[in-house]
Structure 1
């Protein structure tokens, strides 16, 4: 009978993520390219998703290397951090030239 051993370390292991952004359209590409973008969770231009670093995701990124931008990040930002990077909505009047 096989016994499985689980090894745990005392320190937390930092996991890395791919930050994947679709920069080019999939119009006119083969159907396997479009399926790969959907597998990565990319549906619109300039959409960004975060995927863990593993061989499966690396293979999909390699297939789409002309269509996506990829960065390796330490963690996935939460919604408040993403909202802080956006400029405020609307406009402000700086001065009056009348």
Structure 2
């Protein structure tokens, strides 16, 4: 199953109430936040309404916030090399 990976690049400040409502419906609150939605015509229409504020890519899997955080963080601990 394919997913849209949607990242909010620009803030919704100064946008119309309709556009801010679409951002809220997509689950985007803060800049650089990432959400995953299944590829459907409904979601594609919402993305088109706020296309100036977001970047979109298509992925084969959806990640949770914990998985994104774990992927970004460096390895824990330290290693002694001889």
TM above 0.5, yes or no, is yes
Larger RCO: 1 or 2 (CA < 8 Å, sep 6+) = 2
The structure whose residues are more often helix, as a share, is 2
Runs of 4+, deviation exceeding 2 Å: 77-82, 84-89
Could you state the TM-score of these two structures normalised by the residue count of structure 1? Answer: 0.69
Q: Which runs of 5+ in 1 are unaligned?
A: 1-14, 90-98
RMSD between aligned residues? 1.9
Structure 2: gaps of 5 or more residues:
77-82
Q: CA deviation at 1:45?
A: 0.6
In the alignment, the residues of structure 1 paired with residue 61 and residue 23 of structure 2 have an alpha-carbon distance, to the nearest angstrom, of 22
TM-score of the superposition, structure 2-length normalised?
0.82
- The corresponding residue for 1:75 is 61
